[in-house]
Copies of this chain bind each other. A is one copy, B any other.
Amino acid sequence: MVDLNDILAAQERIKEHANRTPVMTSRTIDRLTGCKVFFKCENMQRGGAFKFRGALNTILLLNDEERSRGVVTHSSGNHAQALSLAASMLGVKATIVMPENSPKVKVNATRGYGAEIVFCKNNVESRVQTANRLVEEHGFTMIHPYNDERIIAGAGTAALELLQDHAPLDAVFAPVGGGGFLSGTSIAVKGISEDTLVIAGEPEKADDAYRSVRDGKIYPSVNPNTIADGLRTNLGDITFDIIRRHTDRIVTVSEEEILNAMRLLLERMKLVVEPSGAVSLAALLKISGDLVERRVGVLISGGNVDLDPFFRSYHE
């Protein structure tokens, strides 16, 4: 079971290579929410998302034999980029299974960091089967994108830094997809300050974590056609176990609420975020009436978004 000491050890392990990302504030959003909000900008992490923390922590924990076999994972994008980057930095071969409808920007970035890409169908079974087949055929070391204690410990270092810099906080918001980020966050937060609320944001169109915690069993994520492409996966047994114990609340948000939060982050705070990265703010905006005058942390998970439509407007 991951605990605060694992997260502190991960922080020490990755600090040479990972960014201590900035924390931003906004008068506009403080006014809109009635809270004092601290945004932890994991969109500015290497590879463009918090995922680099867990990927790097995990590869650093592999032994020589595991590294020499090369690593494999399946990911909709950000874990793919993160593992590709961390592996290439440490001279480890990486192979990534990506759904065929992954955002082009994430596919290109993953390839750009040096990984080999194998495409699969756009569902969880195809991802897992394809990755397992590669493990059998080539002997690769599997690194699961979230249901892994080393990944979770790495992911928890973002909330750890936020609390080290800005405690005390009354609540911390994180998005939930597969649950790695939320698991690491909740262990870091509750380990440092038991009274701080841990609140998750989840797309209504991929609300499997909400229903799983409510009913006490893991539901699969069926046709999760949310724009928050990083949150389409379902919980794993490890993340489910952590989240049901340490997360105080899961707030589901509509697609429009996600886009509205994204607009605030891009237009008012001038931060490039991806839809998944805006879900935590969308959740805060939805329930901010419960947190008036509180000090609130909001984790922005990533910023890997396709900007071609924006740049095309300059060539018209």
Contacts and interface: CB of A to CB of B under 8 A. Distances in A.
Interface of A: 19, 22, 24, 27, 41, 43-44, 46, 48, 227, 259, 262-263, 266-267, 269-273, 275, 303, 306-307, 309-314
A13 to B, nearest CB: 19
Contacts of A307: 263, 266-267, 310
A41 B262 CA distance: 20
12 contacts: A19-B27, A22-B22, A24-B44, A41-B270, A43-B270, A44-B269, A44-B270, A263-B311, A266-B310, A270-B271, A271-B271, A275-B314
Nearest to A305: B310
Nearest to A26: B44
Q: How many copies does the complex hold?
A: 2
Nearest to A273: B270
Contact of A303 (B27, B41, B270, B314): B270
A49 B279 CA distance: 27
Contacts of A41: 270
A313 B303 contact: no
**Best-buried of A22, A27, A309 by chain B (most CB within 10 Å):** A309
A24 B27 contact: no
A267 B112 CA distance: 14
A309 B314 CA distance: 10
Contacts of A309: 309-310, 312-313
Given A271-B272, A306-B313, 16 more contacts: A19-B27, A24-B44, A44-B269, A44-B270, A227-B314, A259-B311, A266-B272, A266-B307, A266-B310, A270-B271, A270-B272, A270-B273, A270-B303, A275-B314, A309-B309, A309-B310
* Closest A-B pairs by Cβ, 4 of them: A309-B313, A310-B310, A270-B272, A270-B303
Contacts of A24: 22, 44
A175 B193 CA distance: 46
A60 to B, nearest CB: 18
Contacts of A27: 19, 46
B227 A48 contact: no
A263 B269 CA distance: 18
Contacts of A46: 27
A314 B22 contact: no
Contacts of A273: 270
A308 to B, nearest CB: 8
Nearest to A265: B272
Contacts of A262: 311
A45 to B, nearest CB: 9
Contacts of A266: 272, 307, 310
